[in-house]
Amino acid sequence: MEDRKTIRKWFWVWEFEKEEDWLNEMALNGWVLESVGMCSYNFVRSAPGEYSVRLEMHPYDEAYLSFMQETGAEYIGRMMAWIYFRKKTADGPFDLFSDIDSKIDHLDRIGKFLSIIGGANLLIGLVNSWNPTRLGWINLVCATLLMYSLGRIHGKKEALKRERMLHE
């Protein structure tokens, strides 16, 4: 039986919870995330349910990585702005966000990232569309997709704000 496997899979930025659920389902089936790449997930065989996996968009921060290590979480790797951790389930619950406000802050980070990248693609696309030899339409399509992503993240954030109001 193989001890390692690689799965290539695509998740949209607004599907980060779906990605995390899939990674934890893989861990429940005895395949824990070992490293990540562009749409590539490398797994190693483990005891079923031995680990929980979490991910978040977070800037590179050595102090944050040290803090996470102190909590028992293992740093798996980064994919662009996303950071991946795993922790043994025997060590207790593993959550990166302690309350609704920290979840909203996370969505704000994602939204700022999408706004910057989407705005840059829009600007480049508009500038290049005046020159018929350029492929500005590609940037305009990317900007449209990124703005759609921003809308999906905004919807998640608004749902959390409504939930927070119910608990206040």
Distance (Å, rounded) from C-alpha 73 to C-alpha 57? Answer: 16
Instruction: Check the CA dihedral 160-113-123-129 and report its sign.
Output: negative
Summarize pLDDT for 122-165 with one digit per residue, the tens.
999 888 888 776 778 888 999 999 999 999 999 999 999 999 98
* Mean pLDDT value of segment 61-78: 94
Q: What is the dihedral of CA 64, 11, 92, 29, to 10 degrees?
A: -140
Looking at residue 24, what is its pLDDT? 98
Predicted TM-score (pTM) of the model is 0.87
